[in-house]
C-alpha cells in the first residue's frame, strides 16, 4: 500500500540551530496492516505520524503508494486518511451523529449518504441509541469510539487511519474494552491502522507489526512481526515472550 522512506526530518531550535528528529525511517505499510509505533518519550513518534497524516511535508524523503495494478505514484497524504488524536477533539456543540457527519458534509455527500454511513458506523460500535446525545453526555470510551467513527466517515474512500495515543486518557478497564472494539472495527471495515502508543502490552495485543524507534534522532531499532491469532491472551507465554523482547529495545 505505502512505501515510507523518510531520510531526515529536522526542526529549528529556539537557539536557531537545527535538530534532526527522524533519520532513515524506512518501512512498508500493506493493506490491512495494524502497525504500532513505540519508543521513548519525545523520540519523534508523533512527528512521524503527522508526516503520515499529511500535516507536515517538510522532510527529506518520499512516501509512495502502489495501487492494485502495481503502479507506483507519489502518495498525496493530506485528505486521504483518517486521523485520531490523543484527545477526543469532538465538537461539543454537535450531537454524536453530527460529529460523525462533519467531514461528510464538507465533502458534500448527500443527506441520505451521510445518514447511511453514520448509521452503519454507530451500529458497528453499538452506539446507535446515543446518536442524539452530546459529547458531554457520554463517557470517555464512547467519545473515543465516536472519534474513530468520524475518522472513518471523513475518509470513506480510504481505509488508512492513523492514531496518536488515542487511549492514553482512559482507565485500564475502559482501555482494554475499547481495544477489543478497535480490533472489531479494524476487521469489519478492513482498515489499515498506524497506531502510536507508549504501552507495550497494548502494542502486542493489537498489532500484526510493532516498530520500535530509538532516539536522537529517531530511527528504527526493530520491526517485530506478531503472528498470534486474535483474540490474544495477555497472560500466555507467547504474548509475554514478545513483550519481553520488545522491552529490551527500549
* pLDDT computed for residue 70 by the predictor: 39
* pLDDT computed for residue 54 by the predictor: 83
Q: Strand, helix or coil at 104?
A: helix
Q: What is residue 94's DSSP assignment?
A: S
d(CA 113, CA 221): 44
The pTM (predicted TM-score) of the whole model is: 0.90
Backbone CA torsion sign across 78, 154, 1, 228: positive
d(CA 223, CA 240): 17
Q: Strand, helix or coil at 205?
A: helix
Check if the beta carbon of residue 9 is closer than 8 Å to that of residue 51. yes
Q: What is residue 39's DSSP assignment?
A: -
Q: Quick: pLDDT tens for 26-36.
A: 999 999 999 99
Check if the beta carbon of residue 179 is closer than 8 Å to that of residue 205. yes
Percent of the chain with pLDDT over 90: 72
Q: Strand, helix or coil at 20?
A: strand
- pLDDT for residue 21 is more than 90: yes
Q: What is the dihedral of CA 14, 16, 22, 23, to 10 degrees?
A: -160
Alpha helices in the chain (DSSP H): 45-53, 96-106, 111-124, 140-154, 172-188, 200-206, 237-247
d(CA 161, CA 227): 21
- pLDDT for residue 127 is more than 70: yes
* pLDDT computed for residue 249 by the predictor: 79
Paired sense of beta strands 60-66 and 192-196, if any:
unpaired
- Average pLDDT of the segment spanning 23-45: 94
Q: Is residue 157 very low, low, confident or very high in pLDDT (cuts 50, 70, 90)?
A: low
Q: Quick: pLDDT tens for 185-214.
A: 999 999 999 999 999 999 999 999 999 999
Amino acid at each position: 500500500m505505502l512505501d515510507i522512506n523518510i531520510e531526515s526530518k529536522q526542526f529549528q531550535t529556539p537557539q536557531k540551530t537545527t535538530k534532526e528528529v527522524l533519520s532513515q525511517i524506512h518501512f512498508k505499510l500493506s493493506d490491512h496492516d495494524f502497525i504500532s509505533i513505540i519508543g521513548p518519550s519525545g523520540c519523534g513518534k508523533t512527528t512521524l505520524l503527522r508526516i503520515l497524516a499529511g500535516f507536515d511535508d517538510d522532510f527529506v524523503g518520499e512516501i509512495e503508494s502502489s495501487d492494485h495494478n502495481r503502479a507506483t505514484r507519489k502518495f498525496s497524504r493530506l485528505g486521504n486518511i483518517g486521523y485520531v488524536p490523543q484527545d477526543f477533539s469532538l465538537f461539543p456543540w454537535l450531537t454524536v451523529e453530527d460529529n460523525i457527519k462533519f467531514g461528510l458534509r464538507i465533502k458534500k455527500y448527500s443527506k441520505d449518504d451521510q445518514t447511511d454511513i453514520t448509521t452503519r458506523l454507530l451500529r458497528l460500535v453499538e452506539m446507535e441509541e446515543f446518536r442524539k446525545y452530546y459529547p458531554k453526555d457520554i463517557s470517555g470510551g464512547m467519545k473515543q469510539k465516536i472519534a474513530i467513527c468520524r475518522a472513518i466517515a471523513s475518509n470513506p474512500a480510504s481505509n488508512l487511519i492513523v492514531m496518536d495515543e488515542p487511549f492514553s486518557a482512559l482507565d485500564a478497564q475502559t482501555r482494554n474494552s475499547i481495544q477489543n472494539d478497535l480490533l472489531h472495527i479494524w476487521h469489519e471495515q478492513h482498515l489499515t491502522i498506524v497506531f502510536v502508543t507508549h504501552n507495550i502490552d497494548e502494542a502486542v495485543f493489537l498489532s500484526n507489526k510493532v516498530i520500535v524507534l530509538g532516539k536522537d534522532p529517531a530511527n528504527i531499532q526493530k520491526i517485530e512481526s506478531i503472528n498470534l491469532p486474535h483474540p490474544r491472551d495477555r497472560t500466555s507465554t507467547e504474548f509475554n515472550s514478545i513483550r519481553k523482547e520488545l522491552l529490551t529495545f527500549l
